[in-house]
Structure 1
C-alpha cells in the first residue's frame, strides 16, 4: 500500500553524509525529513476521551502530527474518506522536538512534551525539556486581527492562549514532501 503523503522522501542516490554535518558525524541533522514522531486523530481522540463541547470545528477528520526535527506541530486535514490529504498546516513552530500530543476534554486545548532541539552539528548543552500547552480560538475577532486575517500561530508556555490556530492555512509543499 502506498502512503497518502510522505514528509522527506528522497531519491535513492541521495548523499546522506552531507559535509555540512561532518563535525561529530551528526549526519541525521542534515537529512531532509521533518522526523514525524507521532500522529493523533483529533476526532478519535475526542471520542475516546468522552469529550464535551464542540471542540475545534472542522478538525474532526484531522491528524495532529508532532515532529522531532523542524520544531513544529502540524494539522494534517484528511478528505472525508480519510484516503487523501486535503491540506497541511503548521500550527506550532518552536525550537523544540515535539514527541506527543494530548487534548483536553473540551477539545480546544492540547499539550505536548518537547525535548531540546537538534539544530546544528555542534554539541552543546540544552535546557531540560518543558511541557507546552496551547489553546486554539476559532473566532478571528478574539485575536485582534486586521482585514479579517488571522496572525500566524505561535507556541506559548504553560496555559497562555494560542491565538488563531483557526482558520487553518496550508503550508507550502516545499520541504515537506
Structure 2
C-alpha cells in the first residue's frame, strides 16, 4: 500500500467498529467504561464503546478527519490510544468525582489533536478552538472534560518534545 493508506484503512476500520458497537445495548456501563478502580479490560475497551450513535459518529468523524487531513501514522494513533487508556482515573478520582464510567473515542481524538498542534497552518486559531472545546466540556453534563484535557495536554507535550528545532546560523 502507498503512503498513508494503511493508516487510513485502520482509521476506517476503527470508525466502523465504534459505529457498529454503538448499536449494542450495554446493560452495565461499568463493564466497558473507565472510572476509578475499573478493570483492565474496561480500561482497554472504553474507547470503542459509545453512549449512542451520535456520540460514535461524532468521534469517528473526528478521527477520520485527522487521519485523512494530516499525516497521522499508526505509531501516532497507538500513542493516542495509550494516552487515553492510561488516564490516571485512580489518582484523579481522589480529587475529582470520577466514579461514573466514561466511554468513547474522544480521549484518543483529543490526544491526536494535541499531537498535530504544531502541524496546523493557523496555530493560534487552532489553540483557541481547542481551549473552547475543552471549556465547553466542563459545562456540559456527562462529558469527561478532565479526560479531554489530560489527553490533549499529553498529545501537545509529545508534539512539543518532537518539534524540530530551527537553528539560525
Question: TM-score category by the smaller chain?
Answer: under 0.3
Q: Could you tell me the TM-score, scaled by structure 1's length?
A: 0.26
Larger Rg: 1
Write 1 or 2 for the structure with the bigger share of strand.
1
Write 1 or 2 for the structure with the bigger share of helix.
2
Q: Could you tell me the TM-score, scaled by structure 2's length?
A: 0.26
If asked which structure has higher relative contact order (CA below 8 Å, sep 6+), I would say 2
